[in-house]
């Protein structure tokens, strides 16, 4: 781009609240005005968006790039993963600074920043994945929240990550006091460990036993318990990657009691079922992710919840492992298969195609679920997730007619398979701008490592009063407080 002024003309702007024809005027890194079509005649560059929607850049608040687990590291690093995000229309990702038990939290944050800074192709931020509630950790948290790490990731399972209930309670109290948002992975550890042992000792070692090791009750119990702990602590809570009808019931009951709870799900729970585990040979290993894919009844319940506004955001839990050499580690024992699947690049196209394309979601609800709500809940709004004067000019020129067949070979995710191989999607990003700068043109990545920056996040104090009416999926904009 030659000039620092850019006018995006002829498109239909979609926000969480409405859909209307407008030209978008950007200056430098920011949006400066929405103009009636044809009204603006500024000097500078123009980008023709005729026939396209203009969306706020996607915000994916749940990704695991170059995540070490045992002997492996997830296959997308901070560059390849964010190139894939950009090509899929996502301009902000939130990854994790994961503390090793006993490690000073500040050190975990500094290490992760050193891995990502200068490498990312889109903007990014970090959740604090806390693995102990020691005095040192509790002392460090308020300052880190003030510095822009305004959310905690808490785990109820995984040997290296889980927290005891008493620790979770203490951390939820810190979340209440600091205004940080807790994002909690909910599974009952005893159930998972017991079922895994029982299956393996009965010789049931193939990938198809993965869902039996992590039954719906394990998720529902942990959701119920976390909601009880959050109620006692007086903290809001966001349930990570919710996958079952049973757990949705727990959330609905808590909300009826007046509790402030938010729900994240992922495209794979909306689009796939546990039938994938019945693939021949070891192929089901591609779908070993946690919580597991569920039954058709769960999938249907999640879609209803999405449409009704019970689910607030759709993130990816992008955590790619190669089938060859990594997933294969679990050939003799499903519990050794590294958990996770890729999705950072396909989230928007799949949800648009299957949601908007099939008449289940309005374009506004799509924007709310994939950009505005995650930005609001995790302290990025209105810098991100909004098309308003003053917001970062993170914009996607979305071509609703573009058909793409998803293939691992042509996607930018650095992993040897795509869970949706051969699926055709209708609707895809044509151009993507990051703070006013083109990073995707006509579907081609044109950015560079380091064009993305770390974005500090403000603490948020949510309130669960959603607007009643036509657009249920919008978290009210009055909720973020300055921090
Ligand atoms: N689930 C996954 O599938 N991968 C990474 C972490 C998680 O909770
Ligand atoms: Zn995750």
Give the dihedral of Cα atoms 395, 128, 378, 396; nearest 10 deg. 10
Q: Which atom of ligand 1 is nearest to the CA of 155?
A: 8
Q: Rounded to 5 degrees, what are φ and ψ at 437?
A: -105, 130
One pLDDT digit (tens) per residue for the chain, 483 residues: 468 999 999 999 999 999 999 999 999 999 999 999 988 776 799 999 999 999 999 999 999 999 999 999 999 999 999 999 999 999 999 999 999 999 999 999 999 999 999 999 999 999 999 999 999 999 999 999 999 999 999 999 999 999 999 999 999 999 999 999 999 999 999 999 999 999 999 999 999 999 999 999 999 999 999 999 999 999 999 999 999 999 999 999 999 999 999 999 999 999 999 999 999 999 999 999 999 999 999 999 999 999 999 999 999 999 999 999 999 999 999 999 999 999 999 999 999 999 999 999 999 999 999 999 999 999 999 999 999 999 999 999 999 999 999 999 999 999 999 999 999 999 999 999 999 999 999 999 999 999 999 999 988 765 433 433 334 556 655 433 333
Q: Tell me the ligand closest to 74's alpha carbon.
A: 1
Query: Rounded distance, CA 170 to CA 437, Å?
Result: 43
Minimum CA distance residue for ligand 1 atom 5: 340
Distance 290 CA to ligand 1 centre (A): 5
**Quick count: other Cβ atoms within 10 Å of Cβ 412?**
18
Ligand 1 site-directed mutation target among 153, 241, 344, most atoms within 8 Å of CB: 241
Which is nearest to 380 in space by CA: 475, 449, 472? 475
Query: Rounded distance, CA 128 to CA 96, Å?
Result: 6
Query: Rounded distance, CA 397 to CA 103, Å?
Result: 43
Contact between 83 and 445 (Cβ < 8 Å) = yes
- Which residues line the pocket of ligand 1, CB cutoff 6 A? 64, 185, 289-290, 317, 319, 339-340
Distance 312 CA to ligand 1 centre (A): 20
Q: Tell me the ligand closest to 192's alpha carbon.
A: 1
Q: What is the pTM of this model?
A: 0.96
Which is nearest to 413 in space by CA: 370, 372, 455, 445? 445
Q: Tell me the ligand closest to 286's alpha carbon.
A: 1
């Amino acid at each position: 781009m030659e000039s620092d002024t850019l006018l995006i003309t002829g498109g239909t702007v979609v926000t969480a609240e409405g859909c209307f024809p407008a030209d978008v005027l950007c200056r430098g890194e920011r949006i400066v005005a929405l103009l009636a079509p044809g009204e603006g005649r500024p000097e500078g560059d123009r980008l023709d968006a005729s026939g396209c929607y203009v969306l706020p850049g996607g915000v994916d608040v749940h990704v695991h790039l170059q995540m070490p687990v045992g002997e492996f590291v997830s296959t997308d690093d901070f560059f390849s993963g964010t190139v894939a995000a950009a090509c899929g229309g996502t301009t902000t990702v939130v990854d994790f600074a994961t503390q090793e038990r006993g490690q000073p939290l500040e050190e975990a944050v500094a290490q992760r920043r050193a891995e990502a800074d200068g490498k990312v192709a889109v903007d990014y931020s970090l959740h604090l994945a806390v693995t102990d509630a020691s005095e040192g950790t509790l002392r460090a948290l308020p300052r880190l929240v003030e510095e822009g790490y305004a959310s905690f990731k808490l785990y109820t399972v995984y040997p290296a990550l889980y927290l005891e209930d008493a620790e979770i309670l203490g951390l939820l109290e810190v979340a209440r006091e600091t205004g940080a948002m807790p994002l909690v992975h909910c599974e009952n550890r005893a159930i998972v460990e017991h079922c895994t042992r029982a299956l393996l000792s009965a010789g049931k070692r193939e990938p198809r036993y993965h869902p039996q090791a992590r039954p719906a009750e394990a998720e529902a119990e942990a959701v119920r318990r976390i909601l009880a702990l959050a109620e006692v602590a007086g903290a809001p809570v966001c349930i990570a990657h919710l996958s079952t009808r049973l757990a949705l019931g727990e959330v609905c009951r808590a909300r009826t009691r007046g509790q402030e709870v938010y729900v994240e799900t992922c495209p794979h729970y909306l689009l796939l079922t546990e039938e994938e585990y019945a693939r021949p040979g070891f192929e089901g290993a591609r779908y070993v992710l946690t919580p597991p894919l569920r039954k058709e009844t769960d999938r249907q319940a999640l879609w209803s919840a999405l449409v009704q506004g019970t689910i607030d955001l759709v993130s990816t839990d992008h955590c790619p492992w190669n089938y060859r050499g990594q997933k294969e580690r679990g050939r003799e024992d499903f519990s050794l298969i590294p958990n996770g699947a890729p999705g950072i690049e396909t989230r928007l196209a799949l949800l648009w195609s299957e949601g908007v394309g099939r008449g289940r979601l309005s374009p506004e609800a799509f924007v709310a679920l994939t950009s505005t709500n995650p930005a609001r809940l995790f302290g990025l709004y209105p810098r991100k997730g909004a098309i308003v004067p003053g917001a970062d000019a993170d914009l996607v020129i979305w071509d609703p007619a573009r058909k793409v067949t998803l293939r691992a070979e042509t996607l930018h995710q650095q992993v040897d398979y795509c869970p949706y191989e051969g699926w055709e999607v209708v609707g895809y990003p044509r151009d993507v701008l990051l703070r006013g700068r083109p990073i995707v043109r006509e579907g081609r990545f044109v950015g560079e490592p380091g064009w993305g920056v770390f974005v500090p996040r403000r603490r948020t104090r949510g309130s669960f009063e959603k607007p009643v009416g036509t657009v249920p999926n919008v978290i009210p904009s009055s909720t973020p407080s300055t921090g």
